[in-house]
Amino acid sequence: MVGKKTRFLPIIIFSIVFIFSAFNFKQFKELNNKNTVKSGLKFEKEIMIKVPEPSGITFNKTNNSLLIVSDESSRIYKLSLDGKIIDSLEVNGFDLEGITYINDSTLATILERERTVVILTDEGKELSRFDIDLYGKPNSGLEGIAYNSKNNRLYILNEKSPCLLLVLDLTGNVLSKKELKIAKDLSGIFIDESKNEIWITSHESKSVYQCKADGTVINYYPIDIPQVEGIAIDFNSKKIFLVCDKTESLLVYSLP
């Protein structure tokens, strides 16, 4: 007679292999490739800012300033690199979650719950708006926006359920839509036009991802920030600016 331990041994081995395989698959989905993992970006400083619930950020290389949106006040704030507010303007809508420059005098922002893109001047005059045909939970919608002047395209993130990278023209036509399985959620995006690369942040995975234009991970950087909501980069000074919703702060890192 075969003993109980002997009979159950294949089941135990199968269970262990299944659990191990599932864990590795989850890791693959989050990191895309273990060999891309970096030790981390070099932290420089944290600056407390007077922006309620900052939820998106972009960089203006012409005048070395930052734009940060607030989903609480429905305003766009212009800040100096040391975190001081220079100016602000109101947006007609609520739950702002991203900001980008189209040119020196034109901006685009997104309204998460309405799945709407708003294009306006840097003085606050609305030029146009369009909705994106996406469905899901109200607070799991549009989370990041960036513009590439080389191909005149908007790159927009859907936070989760599913995590999506959308490419649109300036009239709202969706040219491509890709599900990204690199993180638990997507919270911010910035474009490196010189290399045709995108940088993506994840709030839940506490990470920064350097990606190809299609979202394929090149490098992955863990960050110790409780709720990162946006990313902007000054490639000349090799600085990365991140905003944290929870602490209402601007965090500065150095590029490797």
Average pLDDT for residues 47-51, to the nearest whole number? 97
Between vectors from CA 244 to CA 218 and to CA 95, what angle results, nearest 5°?
Answer: 100
Concatenated DSSP letters for 69-98? EETTTTEEEEEETTS-EEEEEE-SSS-EEE
Stronger pLDDT, 24 or 212, i.e. the higher one:
212
Q: Are 219 and 36 in contact, with CB atoms under 8 Å apart?
A: yes
The percent of residues above 90 in pLDDT, for the chain, comes to 77
> Which DSSP helix (H) or strand (E) runs through 251?
strand 249-254
> What's the CA gap between 153 and 170, in Å, rounded?
7
> What's the CA gap between 220 and 37, in Å, rounded?
5
Query: What CATH code is assigned to 35-254?
Result: 2.120.10.30
Which tens digits make up the pLDDT trace of 6-15?
Answer: 454 444 444 4
Sequence length of the chain is 256
Average pLDDT for residues 146-166, to the nearest whole number? 96
Q: Are 141 and 168 in contact, with CB atoms under 8 Å apart?
A: no
pTM of the model: 0.85
Supply the Cα-derived Rg of the chain in whole angstroms. 20
Q: Are 148 and 155 in contact, with CB atoms under 8 Å apart?
A: yes
Which tens digits make up the pLDDT trace of 85-133?
Answer: 999 999 999 899 999 999 999 999 999 989 999 999 999 999 999 999 9
| Domain locations along the chain | 1-31, 35-254
pLDDT for the residue numbered 183: 97
pLDDT for the residue numbered 32: 45
